Chain A
């Protein structure tokens, strides 16, 4: 297996070198880029990882890469804050931190740190919103010895009370600081406006909820969620595939399946929340603006068209937003926009810009103008061709290393996507037509935009009323609570009424 991989690498390199030879036959330099003639790019594919499902339901994928004497493990577990309920709010994230810092059945916190740091190894646990990730890296020679330690952290964390207190303090420090930076206020409150303040994607942990979390909560959460059948574990680096699988089996094979349980729902709001929302933030030199609404799921038929649209509209140096709003108008350093997609819940269709306070209205107008222009001056055949070739020509970078291929295959498997998802993506992008782009453009619905401005007192609100329905600007505090409701009926609670949920 490894010999095959090495042979493959050597062969393809030889082809690449031959390609180089062809190029250099042009001795004279070109004067313009269109005089350049490119040889074809040699075909290059890396094998997909060997996949084994252990008897306890844990999936193991192994992808050797002998370039450097390092070994890596990534473990994804189907657990996350979005499945938290009122009863266990904040527990997932804290449990992840303390799994790492609270020691194991055999090692105290300090002993674990000394062992790992002494070998220059890294081990981190993070339970995020949508999934949990454990990552590990060590010198290849330490892999077999440290894998059981990794397994103990995952399977038998001690959740030392002192480590919980440290994690609680650090989390509290994060909570009291989350409104310090205007960029953080903008992204937090925009999520609340778009997904709903109480939704899985908008809600936030309070200090009171944090204080109420006990060690028993972490232990219970771990017993329920961290189970072998919920885990995909990937090994890459300088390892022998068969030996690595043996080591994983030895460390995890005797772990019994957990009890089955019904996954809690997670939900978000489908109803848009149009309006112009202003949050005053002192002592900043820019207004931070974001406008938009919910985006798509990856399985939407227009997904590939939105990818091409994103490229030509708001991503990259040659996109419309960058060229017009930044380069030609000089309104911003940071301006971008896209219709984003997620695997199992909607992404966000949004545009963002940071500009000096006095050009706030002009910047919002510029964003709206560019969205409108997608309809009045639809992307030309040339723009679409450029965007497609940017995506397709850079495709070689999407799986150019064994560890990239491994983490892709883990992700596809986690989301139940086919192993050839990348090939489908490529074919999907290639097939996009001007009519598809027109349908993608329709996924921007300006009438439904939540328009959020986080700016200093110098922002002249009178210049923004044109963007507010009925001229009524809604002022929010740094956590998104309404300060001066424009009209009593227009509260988030009312808008929250229509909600979606999936298990």
Chain B
């Protein structure tokens, strides 16, 4: 593949230094994302998925250390200057959040906010920017778009605010969209609308999307490729089909088994015993070993390397091969 990957990350590590301890939020994360591809990052709270996303835009607080290579469209982000980052954010890379209330400025109308972003990044005239703002609102299927240009964020309902935020994020045709749990706070009937909207817009604009979520259903609906994150590491990566069907890593298996979707009503649910590890004191070997039903002494010695299972499916587990009955 000679085409530059939209996102290329190599050995990303993020550490937060506090007085008495260091929190290893992200360790050894590597992946590439091609243009027009959707990568889903599935993980629970504390897994490091949001930190990973923010590291890509360098939106982390100053007391943290970032290591590793980050490249967007071939351009190095890890070492970029602040002014270059400001140009890229909103223009080349955009982000949407879980709570539109925090992303939208309450004292400006949404039309003004979108127009301002367009003017700032693409230096068009005000009128042209407003025309494009209207066009964006129509694209995200906000009814009566013309009237809504003059609406303030608090005047819109939850679903519409989310659409407005998407319109804002996509106004400058970014090549990479980072989505941090954008559907988690929405009602289920609105959630599916937004997921389908994102899918459609992603296809239309050919964007690369990284979609972070803790909801397996949302991940299944939107991801082409899926990675499962635990204690700051990508423990399993592959196509959505492979990961959700084969479940090579025991954590993936446990996570999907705990899902209510297939469970027989009234029965006891399978749970993963224990709790996630303390990120300031990670165990020496595999971070999941203390809770793993398949753990061997070898698992606690060193973090397992990524093993491949055909195609692009990899998992960090010493026993995955025998569990899947596949020659390693």
Task: Tell me if chain B binds chain A.
Answer: no
